[in-house]
Amino acid sequence: MTSLSEVGLDNNRFLDDGFPCDPQVTTLLEISSALRYPYRLSLTWQGNDACDNWKFVTCDLEKNVTQIDLGNQQFKGTISPAFANLTALQYLYLNDNNLTGSIPVSLTKLPNLRVLDVSNNNLSGDIPAFGPGVLLNTSGNPGLIPNNGADGTMPKGKRRVIKANVIVAGILGTIMGVIFFFFLGRRIASKTKRKGGSAESKTEQACSNILSHNVHGKSQNGLSFQELVLLDFQKLAAATNNFDPINKLGKGGFGLVYKGKLEDGQEIAVKRLSTASGQGLEEFMNEAVGLKVENCT
């Protein structure tokens, strides 16, 4: 179409006559275009308000898009640089798809970005340098070239496996796409259930040498945010049967604690962060980083 001079957008599912397209809607349409307009997006991405029940999109009370979870959808295409237009975006999950191309450098300019998960795709090229406050998961992309000077990245071969026996999970509001966790031995979970009371206090009694953390997000044993293991919300929900009340172990300082079981049979306990706890995500992450349990019996 070398002679195309005009494109009409009337009579579509996004615009009402006489109203301009919302900037967030425009950006999300650019993102959808880079993904080759998946049918699953076209079913729910309708209207001129991206915060009005658009699937995979989460907004704050001011109707700013703060989370996009497109993980594990088998989407094809590329990562659109237009993501950078969503300046309130904090959590971006593009993992377990068939995405190609590079990670746009423009994503490093997102001022509020906390988590970017692009694992298990077919991405290539240099990994941009993200700030130290960004949890970046790029595993499962053999074509990506680590930027060793980039804070917040987890270069292949340099991610350290943390062997611990405590799982800590945080969910802000109703859901949050990625959970920070450590494994909890089944003895702690069963001991907590038998004795009753606060799951948090029982865990502390069972494992008295939990290390404390400081406000800079690094524990006394030198662990950092980059060393946390990531578990997506869908897997965590499945492990706890959608946080069934039957699986509730008790209530700690951050919120409710649930028992669950992963697909490999590993029993876990999930600490769910409540918005009423008075604790923010940063404080929660600091605690997750600082937790390490040794010799629990």
We report the CATH number of the domain holding residue 200 as: 3.30.200
State the residue range of the domain holding 199.
Answer: 178-290
153 is a domain residue: no
Q: State how many domains the chain has.
A: 2
In a domain, 261, yes or no: yes
Residues 99, 32 within the same domain: yes
Distance CA 115, CA 152 (A): 10
Specify whether 29 is located in the same domain as 110. Answer: yes
pLDDT for res 87: 96
pLDDT at 157: 37
d(CA 36, CA 23): 20
3-state secondary structure of 236: helix
124 and 220 fall within a common domain: no
pLDDT at 166: 30
pLDDT at 57: 95
Asked if 133 and 197 sit in the same domain, the reply is no
Instruction: Examine residue 138 and state whether it is found in any structural domain, yes or no.
Output: yes
Tell me, yes or no, whether 138 and 194 share the same domain. Answer: no
> Is 259 assigned to a binding site?
no
Tokens of 280: 């923010």
- The CATH number covering residue 116 comes to 3.80.10.10
Determine, yes or no, domain membership for 254: yes
Helix (H) or strand (E) holding 283: helix 281-290
**Residues of the chain falling short of pLDDT 70:** 1-19, 148-233, 250-255, 271-297
172, part of any domain? no
Give me the pLDDT at residue 186, please.
42
157 within domain boundaries: no
Q: Which residue among 120, 145, 170 closes a domain?
A: 145
Rounded CA gap, 115 and 89, in Å?
Answer: 10
Does residue 166 form part of some domain? no
- Looking at residue 237, its pLDDT comes to 76
144: which strand partners?
Answer: 125
Instruction: Tell me, yes or no, whether 120 lies in a domain.
Output: yes
Residue of 90, 96, 88, 99 whose CA lies nearest to 31: 99
